[in-house]
Each structure stands twice: as structure tokens, then as C-alpha cells.
Structure 1
């Protein structure tokens, strides 16, 4: 991390103080004075390649730091240089931790707001004792003296000389002179550890003392000026702020300054009222909020502000890696300004809360290790429900070791129910500009961390209903925002931020110093007493959002249903459900501060995120009751015609309501699709949904995974394709959780369409399923079900269903496996009840000549007992029946999707061979089930062929479930009967690998 002083970090200006720090604070005039996502993993799709065993040789962890731009190497680091290090450990099961965080922070999930108890993290998710002991032994064997592991079990402290660390981690050290003239050291190679412990270590922090951490406050002189234009202060002696009874306004230092509240600055009351927050002397009572600081704070300045607003908020300090009074004193109008901004903002908005200032060493001398230590202490203490930080650094400069360690600590905070908000920076889209001089797009850490809520900045004028907000970007700086270079797309931004990585910020609030935050600061060159000032930056926006969360936590809904905790899952859910009610959209401006950046637009953007809070509506959304999803045996309800829920080509169901986008779903991206209450599906009680998924305009090989929102993304796929420019469809039966949303994710950029064919609900009002031995009802190649052998071209085929293939006269719907084969050009199939209007949704799609492609469909049967199949284009058509729904039969039960079979890990299924797959006992499936719902995939096909699934112990039917041509990867949903021994058989007439993923069972 090159050093930054305690500067106001805006655009460079013509004047600097004697240390080079930009002093741009608005001095308020008065009679006495004038005027800071474990998460990147992507689940393997059905056709992902398996890994290879690692080597036993020592392994390097992460990468070596780069010499900062403008710095020069000055020689080797003295061998006796003392290093403060930490060896950071991975959680015992990173995926389980990620899954738990998703569950406790997603509205509708049964675990919503059921957080870990204080001190519970280490025993539940921390590394095992054996892991900690093994790493400690390895460090001792390397000549180091590891200290006591942290309370959460995530880090082992080590103090060593450069010579000791060099031998232990097989790295050298060198000194560098930074462009500001200071000298630091850094390691020349990534640290090396024995292979048997390296897998448990996420990184070693502290091997470099180079850092670029800085506060994100900025300001501009604008009032109280002499004729020459310079700032003035009346009187350099001591002055007293007259104590006031509480009022959401301010004392005469501001009201008598000639500045207007709501125009030149925002008093706590005016700011709270504009954002729909509450103003009272006790608001926030019972809550604790913590602020992260790397500087001394002037207690007198905080006392002056409390006197001005009439508050008596409890403010305490916890010192981390430093002691009281150490570091630069907060007396020069620069040091302590960030701390004053953070604390005064919170005092004004939540005066009833308690504030803890977690203070580390001065930013000018702090290392990555110091920064990490402060965050970790804030989380392991678990005293504060909300954590606010207005400090950060350019993501591209931060070491991977530090980023990974922070990520785990913030995941720990989320698991405990702590909310973390962070300023997104004041250098627009060029967050690295001050650290490296680069104007390239970059974002700030920790605002870009997946488990942190990044807060951008706005310019605001007026108040109440007449207030307006635009993007903050002027001569004082601009809101940080953009796309992470480190973190993969996050599920909670799916359908809102259509970016290839995590997008920043998430939200925004007032940041412009021209209408900023009133504070007091100490400047001994002007006065011996604290001075009133107005300041801005995203450093003001972050604690404003922290205060909004504190107010929500203190309200009756959160008191009953649990504190907000990790904000982002609920935040984006609230945006999708009722955007204008919960957020104040900011639609004008950009963050092109040093170079072309991003532009504000309706809905989410990488400038102001979702916008500013509308507290009343947002509190309701964030403090929703703990969810309970419908469970148990289910019955089926077919739709008379498929309804389109998502189409990324035209914005249907995509992103925020009434704000469509025509962008494809990016690789690694997620599209949350609202199921309940849409397209004829009831608004509650839905346990599962049958979707027809279609990809079109593919950009390369890929797969789609569907799963219940707020639950773990499974390591399966529902639809696969093999190259660019393809159109492929597949059915999927997907569990629906408490919020009524299904998530769709792809590992390759493509347009995605989702049509609902029917749904399951608990109870007995729907139809039950009866499995049949698959039977062929239609084959245009051989006059089965039709009188000719001619390919069908742009015509409708009438298929007799009732009374055929075992389907009785009382059947309401039929399950057919439709296959298009020997295609000519592109085309599609549509199945629907005979006599009904032909739907706009398709069931089987192909994009070239010579394709063979299947798909399972559930079709209501017309009163005449028939189903119509429309062929658009030219193709032979095959239809095999595998079951039906009626008033008799068996109920359906959803399960957590799970991979039951993958022959790639053993041996391919040979031509003419049969494989028996155990179903009962897998994924909680009981004995005696009648049928199982599977997604079956063939890959690595060696020639054209087909696969048939049938009950073990029964006769192999002549019908097929999958058909393919050589070299293709094909998926299809299969509802297969289960034998009395609890097994399903797979037969293939051509050697291929077979994969089977379960979605539910019947019986």
C-alpha cells in the first residue's frame, strides 16, 4: 500500500500547506470566527473440467508487491528491521461460510437474521485447532515465533526481523523511496510455505510497509472570505461554543454565519428530513456504531459540536497497534478532520447511539497489517452493530494477501449481523490517480469488497420534497465508482448491475462540500479553540448511511425481526421489489474526474449505485420478518400457455422494474427472476416452478444454473451449449424459496430467456404425477403417430395423447420428451393444448442444419385428448411420453440440487452399456419414491447416440431421453421412474460421459 498523509483527498489545487496536504475546508463564518466476496469462487457447471492433484513442493502464496509508480529502489532492507506480520488462515469451510452469510442476509430465507452469537465464529467457521496448530508448527520450524491466534482463529501474529522473515518465507526485501520522499520496504517475492499448510493460508500480511491508505474527505473554501478571497477567522484566542438544548438545527456558529441551511450546508435535521430519517435526541438509543480511523481525533472539537447541537452522545476510543496520544496531534486543521466528520455526522443523525472510535496508527506510517488489525478488532469485539469506514486505497495497488484477509473478516462481520459501509473514494472513476498517477478506471477498497456496502457521493440542493440530487463531480472532487478488477460478479447485483465484475458503489448520499457537513476542527494557527467548518467527500456519505442503518436497527420492525446485518442482499432485493419507494434515484452527472468514467442513469449505475435512502420504505424492506419458505409434498399446476418471465433481449423481467436493459447476461452474472405473483403464478405458497430456459446469441461454450434465491448456488447446470451463435433450450424444475425468486446464472455471456410452464404448491389442490415407462407417441421419421415420413416444415402436428402410451382419459397434463432431429437451418418447436392459441414461447430451439436436440415439456391436454406441436422451420420430430399429471398419483418434493453422477471422475459409459444410479438415500430422498426429477447431461460424446433412463429392474424402453450428434454436449430434464431397489438405469448406445443432477422426487 505509497503513503498518503492525512490530506483532504480531492482534485489537485493551486495551494498546498507546508506539508503538501491540501487544506480545503469551508470555514463557517460567525461573530467569533470565519470560516474522510470464498466469494470469487464460481460453481462448476455440468461440463466443467476436473482439477489435478497439487505438488508436495513448497508453494508461494499470492504475488509479490509491485514497486509503486514514481518510486525508486534504494537498496536492500536492513536485516534487523522489525516486521509486524500476520499469517492469515482460511475458514474451515469457506463455501459453508458464504452460504451462511447468504442465508442470514436474504429476505425470505428461513435463516434470515439468525446470526451467530458473539464469540461463536471461531468454533463454527474458524480454522480447526489442528489447522492452527499445524501452521504454527510450520512457522516455528522456519525459525519464527508465532503468537496467540486471533479470537476468530483467522490470523496468527508474528514479529520478526527482515532477516528472519526472509529465511522463513524465501523472499528478499528492498527499500523504495516513494514520490513523496518517504522510504518504505517491500518483499521481492511472494511468501513461500510448506505445501501441507499453504492450502490453509490466504496470505501473509505485513511483509511490505508500502501503503496508500487515505481518508476520503474533501472540501473547498466558499464563505467567510476577505476581499482577497482567502479564508479568515475572527480572533485567534480561545472561544466557547454556547451549549444548546437539543435541536435538529445548529447553533449560532453556523446559523449566524451568513450561510443558509439546505443550501450552503445541511444541518442534521435538514439532512435527516430530506432522506426521510427521524430527528430526536434519543434516536438510535440502544445501538452502537463504530468508526475506523487512522489519526488522532480532537476531543475538544467533538465536545464543541455536541454543545452546538445539544447532544450528549457517548464517544469512546479503542486503540489498536497504537496508544493514546501517539501520532500527529489533531491541531493543524488537517489531522483529525476525518475523524471529526465521521463522528459529528453520526452524533447529529443518531445522537442516542453510542460511538466507538477504533483508532490505529497514523495513516502516514500505517502498514497493511495495521489496517487489517483495526478491522479485525472491530469485528472480533462485536460491540457495534454498524461499522463505518471513510478510509481506503486503490484496489489495484492493494496486495492480494490483504484483500483476501479483509474479505474473510468482513464475511465474519456479516455472519455476526454487523453492517459495514465504506466510502467509495473522491477521485471519480480513477481511484488510483493519487497513488500512482494513473487515470485508468479503478475502484477503492474496502468499498469494492463483496461483503461491504460501498457508498458514493451526490450534490444536493434544497430540502424536503423540493430537494434535488445530482452526481457529485466538481472542482472539489468526484464520487468514486466503477467495476472491480478483483472480485467476481456478486449474486445480489444480478439483474441490476450487468457488469463482468463486482460493481461499485452500492448506494450514495450527500458528499459535495459546497453544501456539505458542518463540523468543528482544531487549527492552532487560527485559534486555540475548535472552529466551525463545512466539509464533504464520500467520507460524509458513508456515516450518513451508517446512521440510516442504525435508525433502522433501533426501529420496532428490526427490534422484532433482527438487526439489518450485511446490507447488500436485502438492499438489492428492496430495489427490485419497489425501487422508487426505497431509493432516491440519481440520474444526472458522471464521475469523469480525471478521465472518462461512468454516467448516471435511471436505476443502478457505477456512479451513485442505487441512489440515496428513502428511510421509511427502506426500513420496512431491511427489517422484514424472518422468512419461511413453503415446504413439503407438492402438487402441480400447469399454465394453459407458457408465460415469459425473462428475456434479456428486450428487458422483460430484467433488472429494476420499469427500467429495462437489452444487455446479455455476462459470464458469471446472475439474473434473479421473480416467479411468485408473475405470469399466472400465485403470490405465495409456491414450492417449485417448471421453467423452459433458452439461450440465444451465445458467445462461446457455457452453461446455465438455476436455483432458489437466497440459497446456496449449486455446483450443477440445467442447460449446456458448446459454442458461439447457438440457440439452445432446456426445461428445469427449480425450488422456490421464501422470497419467490429464482436465480439464473451463466458462465458464458449470452442472452437468456425463461418461460414458466407451471408451478408446484404445497397442499392437494393441484395435480399429482404418475410415472410411465417411456413410450414413443410420435416419430416423423418412421410414421409413428403420423402417416408420412416427410420432415415437418412450418406446420402443426396433432398428437393424440389420452389413451396412448399409458396416458389415461383422466390425465390433465402430459410430460413429453420432444426431440428435433435432422434439422434444416434454424427453427423451434412449440407444444400446447390443441385448439388453444399458439404461445409465443418455444420449447425446443436449434440454430443450424443437422442438429439433434431434445427437451422435456409439460403440456396441458386439450378436451379432445390431444396436444399440438408447431414446427417453425424444417425438422423431423420425436415425442416420447414419460408420465402424466392427474387427480391421482404421487406428490412432488423439491430438494437442494445435488450432483449424483459424473462419469468424468471415473470412466465414460461405454456403447451399449447400462449404469445403475442409486437414488433413494441420496440428498435426503427416501425409500419407496416413484420417480426422480433429474437434469441429465452427456459430454465428451464420441459419436451420434441416445440415452434412455428407466427404472432399474424393468425392461429398457425403446424411447430416448437425450439424443446427440458427435462432439456435442447436451442436457435435458428427465423425470425417470425409480425401481423398487431405489435405482435408475442409464443406457447409452454410444460411448459418452454422463452427468446427473437431482432437482426433486415424486412419491
Structure 2
């Protein structure tokens, strides 16, 4: 089945989730991995302790005030030191943690935001420091070997109110980039050609556009979403900085080649690379980083670009975000990596010696604190919503019939896009006509749709029954079952609660079914995505990636949308003369008041689906509040609405 080509089975993640699981909303009862015993004790490891924020309720209020016109704190964004002083750990609290680490023979480094302390040592040292042993595990499904703690981490009770979470004691590779290539179909017709078509092909407006579905450029994005008026007024991102957080290094020359090849004039020497936690490896994720820089830097051609890359294991992802936010140099930040939200639900937490596991879903809480700091500092954060439609675990765990056994496909969303302080970037399909080998149109999409490949599935069910399984490729979206509905979605029409009877079930070929997680029904959760732009690989883009062989076409995924929003934010920053700050309260208010349409900043998406949620008038869980009219949005934001 085609869908199996796009998945990476990570049943190993379920073991991480279920260790020490004690949530009242969920119940875990199985561990589909093999425990190989205590890991090599002398192996070096880097660990980050996330410190609890102070005055979090006041911080939430302050963030809202920074984007509320009329507030004395409107656009009064904090510096990193101001954030540390008002909301970070105190000097006394930090000193206690450092003293304990020193007693264990461990050094430490405090982040400038006073939200994290980093330390390094051997697995034996850190295992003793956290009163656990570190074991080696092997995934039954992939054969992957990795280490992680065998039990919940424990610190002295005197530190339990300071340290929220420790990451880095597991080296399991888990996050996926949200980019996909268009599939090749080997049935009659031998392929599904994308042209010619009068519905999509147009290069008017932007000279760098191609007008060719599957070969679109940032110029086409400018045409789709009315960005060109900003360029015509000299708005190119000058004076602003975009940040990319990624889990793979790349070749900066890829981006320069892309911009040059499409004829785009850009600021020279504007890319700065920052390797975090020993990052810098060129690997299978390098194409992701290339496209992130090409898209964000292409839409804002005179903005500076900071690229923070870290290893795709342990605390790499959180550390890269910590660095990008603590540095506070980027006006906006995007990432195109994630994993299903439910894979985090019982990440290993630090507890006091006399306490029980609080199950604060470690990585989710770590990102939450980081994103709150970003919002307080005026840094806009955009995160890809995922490429598995409304069923986010499918791309990771696969479909029934895998060698490892079967998994159910509950309705789930992607993380960290589900965080209320991130702007979740969803996906659409722009108008296009598909022709068969006889040049007869067989599929015609006449308006921008929510992206879901069931429109292809329906076609192939007719011409080649049983040959292809495209479920559930599409733009991520749905309802978080961890984060409550944020205030900015309170008055938005179309917001939903979680669906009933959703559970993650593992069916062992020998032992039979085991329910791993029972998801809460009718949970009043954060809905996502927030916005959506073209992400369908069938109406996708060209990318320059040396790792992938140079020029490649037919690529898409919400991986493109997050950096595109990042670049657009840089344009809005220059146009407004200041950082835009946290997007969500501002765009939801605009949509609630002015709606969508010709004079709005948003274009409603009323067709298509992501295999469960349909494009409808107003907000929907496939496209959020819709696609952008960037020139209109720029005027609203400049006027202070």
C-alpha cells in the first residue's frame, strides 16, 4: 500500500509514553518493546532540566495585553532578561539545583531565560542523580535500539517545586518532518499528469512564479495569497529576522541556488547557522531544512535567516527552541517537525522523592513554557500541523497489516503544533485539473480545498480498486485532548470538542488487542489548525536539496506552510514597524469581527476535507479560519486592529 511508503513505525515511542503513566484521563497497559537491560554506564549524555515558571497566570495575561489595542502593555514586548526576572526561576532556586548537580559530580549551565539548566555526564552518573537506571530497548517493529530511563525520574523533594521536567536521557529518534512527495501511480493511467490546466496555470503578478502545479515557487505563493502589493511598496522583510528550528543541518548553498534560479533578488550573506547540542549532521532531514529556508527566506527576500539545528533525539528539539527563544534575535520562528500529541502523554517527569508522578506530559509542558516566553518577547511561532489528516498517528504507526501488528487510527492532532501558544499551519489544495493518459480531465478542483487525498482515493477506487491506500494523507487538524480551548477560540463559530470512542489499540499477532490509550470524549480542547495554505504535493513545489539530488519537484506537506507563514510574518513586521507578536489572538479577533471575504485578511475554505473534518463556512478543523489575504491582513495589523 502506498501509505506504507510514507510512514516510519515508531512503536518504540509508545514505550516511552507508557512508562510511569498515571494520567487520570488515559490508561496505558502495554509496552511493545524489548527491554535489553541496563545500558552501557559510561556512555556520555546531555540533559536539560526545564525549570517551572513563576507567575504563570500573570504571564498569560501579559501576553494577551501585548496584542490587545488599548492596553498599556500593547506591543511592550519583553527582553530575555526581563522575562527571566519576572517569570523565570529565582537565583536561589537555580543555586539549589546547581548545588545538587555538583554533588553528583555534574557541571551545569544556566540559560539566560532562567527556564533551563543544562548538564552533561555519563548514563551512570545521571541515572544515579535521578534515582533510576537507564536501559537499552529494542523496538519489536523496527529493530531500532535506543536507551531511556526504566522508571520515573526522582529528585530530592526540595527541588520538586523548581524542576518540571528533564529531557535527554532517551536517545530515541522520534520527530518527523512534515514534507511529502507526490506519489507515482503504476496503474492505467500510468500517472496522473497535472497539466495543462487553465485553472491553475498563471504566472501573472509575480515574475518568479511558474504557474505549474507541482513546480510552484514562492512567487506562486505570492500570487495565491495576495502578497504582491507588499512587494510593490518595497516590503521585502528588510530589517527583520526569521528563525528556523530544525532537526537536521543543510547546505546553505541550496537556498541561494533556489533563489537565484527562480530569479529572486535577495539580501546577500544573510544565513547564519547555529548548531545546538552537537548538531550539524547532514542526513535524511536535510531537505526539510533546505525547503524551510528557501520558503521563509524566499517570501521575505531581504530578511536575515537564523537556522537552529539539533540532533533528532533526546532533548535536541526542545534545546533548539530554547536557544532560538532565549537568543531573542528572530522576530518570528517556524518549525516543520512534530509527532502525534498523544505520544507525549506520559513522558518521563521529575517528581519529588515523596511525591507521585504528576504526568505533566514533559515535552508538551516544555514547549508550552518556551512558546509562552516567545509570545511575551513578541516572537511569532509557526508549527506545521502534520500530514496525516485528522488521524495523526497513521503516518507514524502505519495501517493494519504491518509486520509489527496492527494499530487503530484514533482522531489525533500533531505536537507541538497543538500548543495554544503556537500558530498551527494547516494545508489546502489549490485549484487544479487532473488529466488521464488520453488527455481527458478526470478530476477538477475549482476552488481552494482542505487538503486530503481522499479525492485521489475516490478516483483510484474506481479505476484500480484495491491498488492504492492513501489514507490518511492530508492537512493535520482536529481537537487537542491535552490542551484546553484557549480564550481566543471562545467566540469562534465552528469550534468543536473531541469525538467519543477514540482509543489507540495495539493488536499483537499472537497476543491479540491491547488498549494503549483511551482518549477523553467531548474534551473542550484547543482546535487546530489556525490557518492553512497550499500544501498538497499534487499542487506542490520545487525544492533544491543537495542531499536529495538537487532540484526536486512535486513536494508538499504542511512543512511548506509553516515557513511560508514565517516569511509572511517578516513582511508584516517590516510593514508595521515592530514585531507582530503572538498571532492567534489577533487573527481570531479579526476573523470574529470582520469574517472572510474580499476586504478581509482571510479567505474562507469551504470545500474538501482531511478525511474527517470538512471545509465549512467559518472555522473548520481542516483549514482553521482559512487562507490568507496578506495585503489586507497587513493593513489591519498596521492600523492596530
Partner of 2:157: 195
The aligned residue for residue 305 of structure 2 is 355
8 Å CA contact retained: 2:331, 2:378: yes
Distance 1:176 1:86 in 2: 22
For the Cα contact (< 8 Å) 1:457–1:508, is it kept in 2? yes
The higher radius of gyration belongs to 1
What residue number does 1:316 align with? 272
8 Å contact kept, 1:61–1:192: no
Tell me if structure 2 keeps the 8 A contact 1:61–1:202.
Answer: no
- Write out per-residue CA displacement over residues 601-647 of structure 1, whole angstroms, 9 at most, x where no aligned residue: 21111111111111133223334439xxxxxxxxxxxxxxxxxxxxx
The counterpart of 2:331, out of the listed 381, 385, 399, is 385
Is 1:449 matched up with 2:411? no
Query: Are 1:469 and 2:489 matched, yes or no?
Result: no
Q: What is the aligned partner in structure 2 of residue 127 from structure 1?
A: 89
Structure 1 residue 468, shift from structure 2 partner: 2.2
- 62 and 415 in structure 1: CA distance in 2 versus 1, 3 angstrom threshold: farther
Q: CA deviation at 1:299?
A: 3.1
Secondary structure of 1:473's aligned partner: coil
SS in 2 for 1:290: strand
Distance of aligned partners of 1:61 and 1:459 in 2 relative to their CA distance in 1, 3 Å threshold: closer
Q: How far has the Cα of 1:536 moved from its partner?
A: 0.4
Shift of residue 75 of structure 1? 2.2
Matches within 5 A, 1:718-729: none
SS of the counterpart of 1:492? helix
TM-score normalised by L of structure 1: 0.49
Describe the SS at the equivalent of 2:426: strand
2:316 to 370, 373, 378: 370
Is 1:579 the counterpart of 2:595? The answer is: yes
Give 1:451 deviation, angstroms.
0.8
Map of 2:296 onto structure 1: 346
Counterpart pick for 1:166 among 127, 132, 135: 127
- Deviation, 1:343, is 1.4
1:106-255 equivalence runs, <5 A: 106-141=68-103, 143-178=104-139, 179-220=141-182, 248-250=206-208
1:305 and 2:258 equivalent? yes
Q: Assess, with a 3 A threshold, how the Cα gap between structure 1 residues 250 and 532 changes in structure 2: closer, same or farther.
A: farther
Match of 1:84 in 2: 46
Structure 2 CA distance, aligned partners of 1:213 and 1:67?
A: 24
Taking the aligned partners of 1:467 and 1:569, their CA distance within structure 2 comes to 32
Cα–Cα, structure 1 residues 603 and 228, in superposed 2: closer, same or farther, change >3 Å?
A: closer
Pair 177,107 (structure 1): closer, same or farther in 2 beyond 3 Å: farther
Cα deviation 1:385-434 (Å, max 9, x = unaligned)? 01011111111112212221111111111110000000000011121223
1:509 aligns with 533
Task: Note if contact 2:9-2:396 (Cα within 8 Å) is conserved in structure 1.
Answer: no
Return the offset for 1:282. Answer: 5.9
Q: Any conservation in 2 of the 1:510–1:541 contact (CA below 8 Å)?
A: yes
User: Is the alpha carbon distance of 1:194 and 1:348 closer, same or farther for their aligned partners in structure 2, counting shifts above 3 Å?
Assistant: same
> Is the CA contact (8 Å cut-off) linking 2:249 and 2:279 kept in structure 1?
no
CA distance in 2, matches of 1:67, 1:539: 34
Show the 5 A alignment for 1:828-867. none
- Is 1:605–2:620 an aligned residue pair? yes
Structure-2 residue corresponding to 1:394: 340
The Cα offsets for residues 814-850 of structure 1, whole Å up to 9 and x where unpaired, read as: xxxxxxxxxxxxxxxxxxxxxxxxxxxxxxxxxxxxx
Go from structure 1 to structure 2 and tell me whether the alpha carbon gap of 1:493 and 1:515 turns closer, same or farther (over 3 Å shift). Answer: same
SS in structure 2 of the partner of residue 486 of structure 1: strand
Q: Is residue 536 from structure 1 mapped to residue 552 from structure 2 by the alignment?
A: no
Alpha-carbon distance, 1:118 to partner: 4.8
1:315-338, Cα deviation, whole Å (9 max, x unpaired): 2211111254x343xxxxx54221
Once the two structures are superposed, residues 654-673 of structure 1 have per-residue CA deviations (whole angstroms, 9 ceiling, x without a partner) of xxxxxxxxxxxxxxxxxxxx
Structure 1 segment 787-826 matched on structure 2, within 5 A: none
Distance 2:316 2:27 in 1: 17
Contact 1:115/1:415 (<8 A) preserved: yes
Residues of 2 paired with 1:200 and 1:107: CA distance?
35
Which segments of 5 or more consecutive residues in structure 2 lack a partner in the other structure?
Answer: 11-19, 194-204, 348-360, 399-406, 434-444, 457-469, 498-523
Structure in which a larger fraction of residues adopt strand: 1
Deviation at 1:535, TM superposition (A): 1.1
Gaps in structure 1 of 5+ consecutive residues? 1-10, 22-59, 232-246, 256-260, 329-333, 627-1003
Any idea what SS the aligned residue of 1:484 has?
strand
The answer to whether the 8 A contact 2:295-2:560 is kept is: yes
Question: Is the CA contact (8 Å cut-off) linking 1:410 and 1:452 kept in structure 2?
Answer: yes
CA contact (8 A) 1:341 1:517 kept: no
The residue aligned with 2:14 is none
Displacement after TM superposition at 1:124 (Å) = 2.3
Q: How far apart, in 2, do the equivalents of 1:67 and 1:570 lie?
A: 42
Aligned residues: 528
C-alpha distance 572-221 of structure 1, shift in aligned 2 (>3 A): same
Q: Is the 8 A contact 1:176 1:183 kept in 2?
A: yes
- Tell me which of the two structures has the higher relative contact order, counting C-alpha pairs closer than 8 angstroms and 6 or more residues apart: 2
Q: 2: distance between equivalents of 1:193 and 1:74?
A: 25
| Separation of aligned partners in 1, 2:289 and 2:41 | 36
* Counterpart in the other structure of 1:877: none
Give the alignment's TM-score, normalised by structure 2: 0.76
